[in-house]
Amino acid sequence: MTTQAPAPVPWLRLFPAGSYAGRSHALLLRSATASGRAWLAFVSGFFEPVFYLIAMGQGLGSLVGMLPGPDGAPISYAAFIAPGLLAASAMNGAVFDATFNVFFKLKYGRLYEAMLATPLGPVDIALGEIGWALIRGGLYALGFLSVMAGFGLLVSPWALLALPAALVVAFAFAAVGMAATSFMRSWQDFDLVTLAILPMFLFSTTFYPLSVYPRWLQIVVECLPLFHAVELMRGLTTGVVHLGMLGHLAYFVVMIAVGVTVASRRLDVLLLR
């Protein structure tokens, strides 16, 4: 009796042949072990959005007053900026882990070259590192959600979906961040990361509604990934849920697909050829 070989997984056809061994979880275990020795640096990124929430939401908010929410109903300034800071927490935790840490391991630690001597392929490495960056961004988001709950800024049961949404956002930024890191040549190139992250943080309706911008700038802002994350979080935390949110999720699904594919192919080029 002859046996048939298992059918190939369709999505693996996007990647170089033989580049996936199904062992990406090994990198998650390694990252968790390594982070246990530097836990203070790991958790420090959680505090930045909390400081923004206290300083601007509670301080500046007393001067700003009420702002229109996603459905036009007035909400407090703290309730307006908190979802944006939640999205930024997921973004920052994922991006900086998938860029600075990955670059050091790739260019200086040479860890990936050693990993490829084991039953691991470039796709395993890409998924493992992106997965750890996703976990870091998700932990930041979970911590900030707890702070929002403490301030009474979660007013809808739909807020329970904010954490899964934050994981999708973190996954997307981690995938694109690692793909971009594979093209970087030196530490000076990381100025471009700051150049991309800081304007997104300031302009993606984190602190002000989209209506304050002129129309041409509104179009630019609507193309930014953090804008879609902020809109998604703001709708969930305030309970204004509609079908348009599926468009925001689709945006991040595309980011994930492109980021994972490019990162895997670039690692194949950098490490195996």
Which of 201, 257, 193 has the alpha carbon at shortest distance from 229?
A: 201
Burial of residue 204, with CB atoms counted within 10 A of its CB: 0-12 exposed, 13-18 middle, 19 or more buried: buried
User: Where residue 200 falls among pLDDT bands split at 50, 70, 90?
Assistant: very high
Instruction: Name beta bridge partners: 75.
Output: 67
Strand, helix or coil for residue 66 = strand
Assess contact for 259 and 176: CB atoms under 8 A: yes
Tell me how long the chain is. Answer: 273
Assess contact for 208 and 129: CB atoms under 8 A: no
The string of pLDDT tens digits covering residues 233-255 is 999 998 888 898 999 999 999 99
Beta carbons within 8 Å of 262's beta carbon, 6+ residues apart: 179, 182
Beta carbons within 8 Å of 263's beta carbon, 6+ residues apart: 126, 130, 175, 178, 179, 182
Assess contact for 104 and 155: CB atoms under 8 A: no
What are the angstrom distances between the C-alpha of 86 and each of 99, 141, 261? 20, 6, 27
Q: Is the pLDDT of residue 221 over 90?
A: yes
Q: What is the pLDDT of residue 38?
A: 63
Spatial distance between the Cα atoms of 145 and 86, rounded to a whole number of angstroms:
7
Q: What is the pLDDT of residue 57?
A: 74
Q: What is the pLDDT of residue 251?
A: 95
Tokens 């304050």, residue located = 212
Instruction: Name beta bridge partners: 74.
Output: 68
Spatial distance between the Cα atoms of 198 and 181, rounded to a whole number of angstroms:
17
Taking the alpha carbons at both ends of the chain, their separation in whole angstroms is 40
Q: What is the pLDDT of residue 249?
A: 94
The string of pLDDT tens digits covering residues 149-186 is 888 888 888 988 999 999 999 999 999 998 998 888 88
The string of pLDDT tens digits covering residues 8-67 is 455 455 455 456 556 677 777 877 777 766 666 666 666 777 788 888 877 777 777 788
